[in-house]
Structure 1
Amino acid sequence: MSEKKKEETKVNIVRSLAPKIIKDAKELKRIKPYLDSLKSGIEAKGVTNIAVTGDYGSGKSTVLATFQDRNQNYEYINVSLASFKEEDKTPFNSVDDKGKLKKILDIDRLLELSILQQIFYHVEPKEIPDSRFKRIKSISNKKLKAFALGSVIWLVSFAVLFIYEGLEKFLT
């Protein structure tokens, strides 16, 4: 194979950054320290949350997916605090061009809100009836057809009642 062909082949190789479950013994050996740390964190007394951080594509989701696959005896809720928006580089408490003090963002509150929303979306709404986080509910076709039929019957009944009474008053 010519040098140019080898170079083109190398350029055309695309690695997926999507999470995967690692089964290969060599790759498992490489992430074993992370899997062990997760296991010891879960089994430690007093630990209620575990955060996994790292750069985009560093393997966080792959480690978690592999751990979950190998430890199915635990219950998991995955919460992501990823942000793909361009960050506002304005420092806190800065003054804008009109001399007004900019609003200070409460980062802790925003993080808590994001975490709570993601946890609530993993739970059935009936389990948290007093929550202010509401979801869009999907209505089954059967319920939609029943509602449409009931509405038509009600409208026809309403029309017949008033038209009939109106006709009766008109005729007498």
Structure 2
Amino acid sequence: MVDLKFEKLTPDKDVDISSYEEALNFSFSNEDVTNVALTGSYGVGKSSIIETYENKHPENNYLHILFHILLTSFFA
């Protein structure tokens, strides 16, 4: 029998987002920034970055709704 190793592809809520956090903070603190794109292949961690950012920044409680509406709309 082959020893297969599987990994879940659901978002983690506590990943290292240090390279993204500064850019997201900048984006959300500047009114002239109206669009933010987080792109990448399937399974690279886009949703994990979003979920972790939401957990670390509960003061931006509107982000959860916005992110998930956009993701749902995009993949519908």
Question: TM over 0.5, yes or no?
Answer: yes
The TM-score, its normalising length taken from structure 2, stands at: 0.76
CA distance in 1: counterparts of 2:36 and 2:24, whole angstroms: 8
CA distance in 2: counterparts of 1:36 and 1:67, whole angstroms: 11
Please state if 1:19 is matched with 2:11.
yes
Please state if 1:50 is matched with 2:42.
no
The TM-score, its normalising length taken from structure 1, stands at: 0.36
**Letter of the structure 1 residue corresponding to residue 12 of structure 2:** K
Please state if 1:32 is matched with 2:18.
yes
Cα root mean square deviation, aligned: 1.9
Identity in percent: 25
Q: Which 4+ runs in 1 deviate beyond 6 A?
A: none
Aligned-residue offset at 1:45: 3.2
Q: Which residue of the partner structure matches residue 53 of structure 2?
A: 67
Which has the higher Rg, Structure 1 or Structure 2?
1
Q: Which residue of the partner structure matches residue 121 of structure 1?
A: none
Q: Which residue of the partner structure matches residue 82 of structure 1?
A: 75
Gaps of at least 5 residues in structure 2 are: none
Aligned-residue offset at 1:41: 1.0
Aligned-residue offset at 1:33: 0.8
SS at structure 2 position matched to 1:17: coil
**Letter of the structure 2 residue corresponding to residue 60 of structure 1:** K
**Letter of the structure 1 residue corresponding to residue 11 of structure 2:** P
